[in-house]
Chain A
Amino acid sequence: MPDKYETHDCDVLVIGAGGAGLRAAIESSAMGAKTALVCKSLLGKAHTVMAEGGIAAALANVDEEDDWRVHFHDTMAGGKMLNNWRMAELHAKEAPERVLELERWGAVFDRTRDGRILQRAFGGHRHKRLSHVGDRTGLEMIRTLQDKGVHQGIDVYMECTITRLLMDGGRVVGAFGYWRESGRFVVFRSKATVLATGGFGKAYPVTSNSWEYTGDGHGLAYRAGAELIDMEFVQFHPTGMVWPPGVKGLLVTEAVRGEGGILRNSKGERFMFKYLPEANRKDFAADEAEATRWVESVLADSKPDGRRPPELSTRDNVARAIYTEVKEGRGSPHGGAFLDISYQPADRVKKKLPSMYHQFLELADVDITKVPMEVGPTCHYAMGGVRVDADTCVTTVPGLFAAGEVAGGMHGSNRLGGNSLSDLIVFGCRAGRGAAESAKTASRPTGSLDRQIDEAAAEVNAPFGRTTGEHPYALHSELQEIMGSCVGIFRTESDLKEGIRRLEALGPKVRNVRVEGSRMYNPGWHLALDLGNLMVISEAIARSALARPESRGAHSRLDHPNYDPHFATVNNCVKQNDTGGMTVRETPLPKMSDELRKVYDEVEAMSLPAKA
C-alpha cells in the first residue's frame, strides 16, 4: 500500500535556501506569487554561511577606476572566455545594485574611511572589488536575506529533501520529497520551480563543502531531461587546511592573500612568481619589492602602489602551483604550502581575518599572527551546472529554473573569488522574477501525478527492504576515492577512463544500497538517497573531462597541457538519452556581441601601470 503524504500548493517552489534560493524566493514573493522555500537543513545554515571573503561588485568605492566593464572583462578572462557572455554582462552590471539592496535590508558591511562600503582585493580582479564583513561575508548575506524573507510571507519548509521533480507533459509541475525528521513524504504542486541547490563537493575526498553538497539539483534536473554544461570544470580552491586530519579541506579564505598573505615552499621560496601565466604576467608585481609596496599601500588604506602580488593570480593557477610544489618535494610537513600573514600587526590580522585566526588557533593549535599556516588545494566549487537562459534563468525544461552554483555558464572554466556571492543575488533575483512571471500563465496539471508519486515513494523506501547490499558510508568513501584519484586536479585520458570504468562498477552497488533503522531522522538513509545524485554528477564530470582533450581554467589535462582553439568555441553538454544512459556532446558557445567584444578588448588593452 502506498504511503500517505501531505500536499502543498504554491505558485513558485524554490528548492534550496542559500543565497540564491532565498533571493529567488524574496523576488518571487514580492511579485505576488505564493512561494514555498524548501531546504535540506535548518534555515540559515546553508553553505552560503561558509563564504568568507566577500561579494564582488564594481561599486568603485576604493578603486575609482573600477566599473562594470572591468568586472565583466575580469570575469571572462578568469573563465578563459568560456563563460556565457550574457550572464557575465548581467552579473557585472547588476551586482552593485544587489549589494546596495542588501545594505538597505540591514546588512552591515565594513566601511571605508569616508563611510562607504569597503572593498578588498581578490585573485583575478584588477581592482579592489569585494565588499565584505571581515571574513564572514556569507553569514551576513544569509542572515540579511533570511530576515527579509521570513517577514515577507514566504512559506519555509526546513529539513526537507526533494528526491524527484514531478512532470506533466514535459513541464515541471512540482516535486516529491521527505521530511528528514519523520521520514514522511511530502508533495509540492507548483507552477514554476527554481533549483538553487548549490554544488557537489561531496563527490571528492578533500573538500571545503558541507554534507549538503551532493549535486541534488544537478541530479534532479538531469533526470527531468535538462542539459548540464561545463561539468568538467571543478574548482579546487588553492588554500584549504591540510592538518589536522579531521579538518583537511576546510577553507582558508582567499582574503588572506587579498590582505597580503605570502605563499612559500619548504625552501622559503616565494614560488608564485614562477607560476604566473605569460598572458597576464604584466598585471602582477615583477618582484618581491613591488609586491611589498602594494601590500604596504593596502595596510595604509591608500591608493595602490605597484601591481598586485603573484599570490593574487586566479584560483586554478594557484591551486596547480601548490600541488606541483608539494609533488616535487618542496611541501610543508603536512603536505601543503606555507601561507604567511604573520608579518603583519597581530591586531590587524585579528580584525581583518577573525574566523581564520580562531579556526587555526582552536582546530590546529596554530597562531596565525605568529607563524605561517599550512594550506593545500581543496575541492570547492562547481562551475558546471544546469544550462539556463541568462535573462530569465529558465532551463531547457519548461517550468524549471536554476540559479547560483547549480546553474552553469556564468563562470566559464574558472570562477573568480567573490563572484559566487554576487552570482547568487543577481541570478537568484532574476530566477525568482522569471519563475513568478512564468507561473502567471501556467496552469495546473491536467493528468494525475499519482503514478509518479508512487514510483518516487517506492524508490526512497527501497533501501530498507534489502537484505544484501553495502552501507551508504562505505559506498560514499569509495566514490570519493575514485573521484579524488582519477578525476582530480590533474587529469589524463587513462585515469579518466579508469575512473569511468570504476564508476560503472560502483553503479549497481549504489543501486543496491542497504539501510538500517527507521525513516525517522536517519542520516544513513539520507546519504543513501543522496548517493544517486553524486553518481550522476561524478559520471558527468569524468565523461566531460574525457571529452575535452585540452587544458583550460580549472580543467588540467597532463596529456594535453595547452589550449586547443577548437575547444574555445564549445561547451560540453551532458544529457540523459532515451535509454537512460548519459550522452556528452559539444554545443557551440554563444557568440559574444560585437559591442561586448569591444568592451573586453578595450579593458584588455588597458594595462595597469607599473610604478617605479
Chain B
Amino acid sequence: MAETREFQVFRGDRSGGKMETYPVEVTPGMVVLDAMHRIQATAAPDMAVRWNCKAAKCGSCSAEVNGKPKLMCKTRLDALPADRPVEVRPLRTFPLIRDLVTDVSWNYEVNKKIPPFTPKPGAVWRWKQEDVDRVQEFRKCIECFLCQTVCHVLRDHQKQPVFNGPRFFVRLASLEMHPMDGLDRLEQIKEKSGLGYCNITKCCTEVCPEDIRITDNAIIPLKERVVDRFYDPIRVLFRKIFGSASLTKPE
C-alpha cells in the first residue's frame, strides 16, 4: 500500500543553492510538513525548516509549495497533483537564511512602529458582541506572513521601507476599529503605512489561512476612512475653519 512521492526541496543559503530530490513514503492524510519531517529523519537531518505547532495555529511553517504560498502543516498531499513532484521553496519575498527558512524580522520592525492599543480615558469596558466581530476577525491573524510574501508591492517592487503590507493593515484596522481605542490613527495610516500603494488585487485575501477578508474588511475600510477624513471637501473646509481637533475619530 505504501505509495512513494517525489519532493523537490530547495537546499542552500545566501551564497546559492539548488533543488534536491527526495522520495518520501506517504501515508493517508499526510501534509507537506509531515513529508519534510520524514526527509529530516531519513535523508537530510540538517535540512532547515521552521515550524512549531503543526496545527495551523502559530504560522511558522510558511513556504511556497508548487509556487503557491502555503502553510506546510495545512497542505494535504492528496490536494496536490500526483503526476509531478511536489516543489517546496522558501518564501521569496524575505531574505533567505537556509533551505526553507527565511529572515522575517522586517515584519517585527514594522509592528514596533505601530502605536500600541491606547484605551480612551474613562473607558467603560462594555460592548456588544456585534461591535467586535470585525475586530475579532482581524485578531485571528497568526502572523504566517503569507499575505506579505504574496503582495506584489513587497514581492516585486520591494517597497518594504515605505509599505507595511497586508498583515499590518489588518493590525492597524484591528486597532482603528477597536471600540475602546482612543488614539487618532488616520494620520499615521495615511502618511506612514503606505496604504496608498495597495491597488486591491486581493492576492493577500486569497492566501490567508485564517480566511480573514483582508482587502474587503481591513484595507478598503481603512482607505475609506482616510478619504473621508482628508479628501472629503466639506470636511477639509470644516477643518480649516475649526481646526483639526474638531474632527477626531468617529465614535
The residues of A with any CB-CB pair to B shorter than 8 Å are 41-47, 49-50, 100, 103-106, 108, 110-111, 114-116, 133-134, 136, 138-140, 143, 147-148, 150-151, 158, 181, 210-212, 243-247, 250-251, 355, 358-359, 362-365, 471-474, 477, 515-518, 520-525
Contact = CB atoms under 8 A, between A and B. Distances in A.
B58 A364 contact: no
A245 B57 CA distance: 19
B157 to A, nearest CB: 25
B29 to A, nearest CB: 2
A465 to B, nearest CB: 15
B178 to A, nearest CB: 7
A109 to B, nearest CB: 9
Interface stretch (B39-47, B191-199, B227-235, B241-249): B39-47
A116 B46 contact: no
Contacts of B55: 50, 247, 250-251, 359
A138 B52 CA distance: 14
A244 B30 contact: yes
Contacts of B101: 181, 521
Given A106-B181, A133-B136, A247-B54, 15 more contacts: A42-B60, A45-B58, A49-B52, A50-B57, A106-B175, A108-B136, A111-B129, A115-B127, A147-B111, A210-B52, A355-B57, A363-B74, A474-B41, A515-B45, A523-B46
Contact of A49 (B58, B98, B115): B58
B65 interface: no
Interface string B17-59: 0000000000111110110000011000111111111111111
B112 to A, nearest CB: 6
A247 B29 contact: yes
Nearest to A52: B57
Contacts of A158: 105, 108
B203 interface: no
25 contacts: A41-B58, A44-B143, A46-B52, A47-B53, A50-B55, A100-B125, A104-B119, A111-B127, A114-B126, A115-B127, A115-B128, A136-B57, A148-B116, A158-B105, A210-B52, A210-B58, A211-B51, A359-B55, A363-B74, A363-B76, A518-B46, A520-B97, A521-B97, A521-B98, A523-B40
Contacts of B60: 41-42, 45
A106 B178 CA distance: 8
B68 interface: no
B56 A49 contact: no
A244 B29 contact: yes
A147 B117 contact: yes
Contact of A50 (B53, B97, B129): B53
Contacts of B34: 246
A41 to B, nearest CB: 6
Q: Size band of the B side of the interface?
A: 35 or more
Contacts of B115: 151
B139 A143 contact: yes
A134 B132 CA distance: 13
Secondary structure class of chain B's binding surface, majority of residues: loop
Contacts of B52: 41, 45-47, 49, 210-212
Contacts of A181: 97-98, 101, 103
Interface string B55-73: 1111110000000000000
Select the residue from A106, A181, A516 with max chain B CB neighbours within 10 A.
Answer: A106
The 3 A-B pairs with the shortest beta carbon distances in the complex, nearest first, are A244-B29, A517-B46, A106-B117
B236 interface: no
Contacts of A139: 57, 139-140, 142
Nearest to A355: B57
Contacts of A244: 27-30
Given A136-B57, A211-B51, A358-B56, A104 B45 contact: no
Contacts of A41: 52, 58, 60
Contact of B29 (A245, A473, A524): A245
Given A244-B29, A523-B46, A106 B51 contact: no
Nearest to B60: A45
A522 B40 CA distance: 10
Contacts of A364: 29
A42 B181 CA distance: 27
A566 B105 CA distance: 54
B13 A108 contact: no
Interface of B: 13, 27-31, 33-34, 40-41, 45-60, 74, 76, 97-99, 101, 103-105, 108, 111-112, 115-117, 119, 125-129, 132, 135-136, 139-143, 175, 178, 181
B78 to A, nearest CB: 9
A147 B105 CA distance: 15
Contact of A150 (B103, B112, B139): B112
Nearest to B58: A45
Contacts of A115: 126-128
A471 B108 CA distance: 35
Nearest to B99: A521
Contacts of B135: 108
A517 B12 CA distance: 12
A110 B112 contact: no
A19 to B, nearest CB: 14
Contacts of A103: 125
Contacts of B105: 158
B104 A42 contact: yes
Contacts of B51: 210-211
A523 B52 CA distance: 12
A140 B46 contact: no
A151 B27 contact: no
Contacts of B98: 181, 520-521
B117 to A, nearest CB: 3
A517 B29 contact: no
Nearest to B112: A150
A520 B127 CA distance: 49
B46 A49 contact: no
A196 B130 CA distance: 36
Nearest to B125: A103
Nearest to A107: B139
B139 A140 contact: yes
Contacts of B140: 136, 139
Contacts of B40: 473, 523-524
A108 B59 contact: no
Contacts of B54: 210, 247, 250
A111 B29 contact: no
A254 B30 CA distance: 25
B132 A108 contact: yes
Contacts of A522: 46, 48
